[in-house]
Amino acid sequence: MKTPPFNLFQPKSIDEAVSLSAKFVENNEQFDWIAGGTDLLPNYKWHLNTKPNVISLASIEELYHLNSTHIGAMVRLHDLANSKETHPIIKKAASSIASVLIRQSGTVGGNIALDTRCFWFNQAEEWRRSIEWCHKCDCDTSADCRVIPNQNELCVATYQADLAPSLLVLNAKIHLCGPEGSRNMLLSEFFELDGIKRNILKPGEIITHITLDDDVNSWSGDYQKLSLRKSWDFPEAGVAVAWKNDDELKLRIATTALESIPRLHEDITNEALLNNFSINEIASKLRKDVKPVNNTAFPPNYRKKMVEVLCKKALHGLKGVLS
Ligand SMILES: Cc1cc2nc3c(=O)[nH]c(=O)nc-3n(C[C@H](O)[C@H](O)[C@H](O)COP(=O)(O)OP(=O)(O)OC[C@H]3O[C@@H](n4cnc5c(N)ncnc54)[C@H](O)[C@@H]3O)c2cc1C
Ligand code: SF4
């Protein structure tokens, strides 16, 4: 299938990129940002919600900065996985993504803003035509959702990117810049429970970078991933945990690939610390808390069961501290 034609823009600074996007927004012209293109271009080839204009972030030097507390949006996943500055939990998550070749092009910003996935949606155009489309790419037919049928308002496509949970458990902040200026927030406030909208980015806004707290290196933890094959495949479930054990134990747990957003499970960790839960009890609570739907390779019940297994594995380093 051929990639449809589009106009490509290559700004050299954040200011230039944002003034370009502001013009598109003002003129009501549609466009997409492109970083490494490892997800956007395959989607374009399948004619999934293509736009006539594409703004590349590849020539913006300011977005490539990387140190232990600052990760630029254009940092390549390969560089993130191989840098001595990268926290071990993020390193493990980054190394698990796709393949070496894809990690050399794929970026941090593209991974965080990754489109949600669904087996009724990530298909060739002819295949989708044969099922008469779905709500996320309905080709002006007002088609229903195939997962939650008889409605075309809700999309529950799954967020299947690996980096977010490792950043969430390290209390990452995300920094955005757009026509209305710059803003930042906790990464946990960035995602929006809507398989089409996905996050709170406003029209014309980009992710510029991620920052981590100064004490990030005093946190330990792990990332565990379930996928069809060990390399190349998107996560079917992912669990990140981080803990700091000085005066009192602090614990964070986040999941990905189970819902339309990656999620911090603060209620579970608060309850666990208050009641001295064992590792098995925490893992069992996590299994009950996630709500996968039937739209990825593995069935939802299996993914729920595996979340418990992944959580126990990820908490292994706390054996002796937790029973
Ligand atoms: C075979 C295959 C296997 C894969 N396996 C995995 C996997 O195991 N785990 C995983 O997490 N991913 C996987 N991916 C998905 C993808 O390669 C990665 O998520 C990658 O990090 C995407 O980054 P990119 O720079 O290529 O994004 P792009 O494709 O350029 O963009 C992705 C989306 O992000 C938006 N975007 C990009 N940068 C910004 C920014 N700075 N601000 C705002 N929006 C932005 C784009 O508009 C687009 O909507 C896989 C892809 C393929 C093809
Ligand atoms: S969840 Fe429904 S609307 Fe969303 S991509 Fe899947 S079938 Fe389409």
Query: What confidence tens digit (pLDDT) does each residue in 89-120 have?
Result: 999 999 999 999 999 999 999 999 999 999 99
pLDDT of residue 41: 97
Checking if the pLDDT of 244 tops 80, the result is yes
- Whether 207 is in the pocket of ligand 1, judged by its Cβ within 6 Å, is yes
Checking if the pLDDT of 247 tops 90, the result is no
Would the pTM count as exceeding 0.75? yes
Categorise residue 3: left if φ over 0, alpha if ψ from -120 to 50, beta otherwise: beta
- CATH class of the structural domain 218-316: alpha beta
- φ, ψ of residue 73 in degrees (nearest 5): -65, -30
Q: Distance between CA atoms of 197 and 79, rounded to whole angstroms?
A: 29
Checking if the pLDDT of 30 tops 80, the result is yes
Contact 159, 199 (CB under 8 A): no
The ranges assigned to domains in the chain are 218-316
Checking if the pLDDT of 13 tops 80, the result is yes
How confident is the prediction for the chain on average, in pLDDT?
97
With cut-offs at 50, 70 and 90, classify the pLDDT of residue 230. confident
Q: What is the 3-state secondary structure (H, E, C) of 35-84?
A: CCCCCHHHHHHCCCCCCCEEEECCCCHHHHCEECCEEECCCEHHHHHHCC
- Nearest ligand, CA 58: 1
Instruction: Output the ligand 2 site: residues, CB below 6 A.
Output: 118, 120-121, 134-136, 145-147, 155-157, 195, 295
Of 297, 266, 289, 303, the residue nearest 186 (C-alpha):
266
Tokens of 270: 């608060």
- Whether 38 is in the pocket of ligand 1, judged by its Cβ within 6 Å, is yes
Checking if the pLDDT of 224 tops 80, the result is yes
- Whether 110 is in the pocket of ligand 1, judged by its Cβ within 6 Å, is yes
Mutation pick for ligand 2 pocket among 116, 120, 128, 260 (CB with most ligand atoms within 8 Å): 120
Nearest atom within ligand 2 for CA of residue 119: 6
Q: Distance between CA atoms of 212 and 94, rounded to whole angstroms?
A: 16
- Nearest ligand, CA 115: 1
Q: How far is the CA of 195 from the centre of ligand 2 (A)?
A: 8
Checking if the pLDDT of 1 tops 90, the result is no
With cut-offs at 50, 70 and 90, classify the pLDDT of residue 231. confident
HSE-up of residue 82 (Cα within 13 Å, Cβ side): 8
pLDDT of residue 208: 98
pLDDT of residue 294: 97
pLDDT of residue 163: 98
Residue nearest to atom 4 of ligand 2 (CA): 155
- Whether 109 is in the pocket of ligand 1, judged by its Cβ within 6 Å, is yes
Query: What confidence tens digit (pLDDT) does each residue in 120-141 have?
Result: 999 999 999 999 999 999 999 9
pLDDT of residue 190: 98
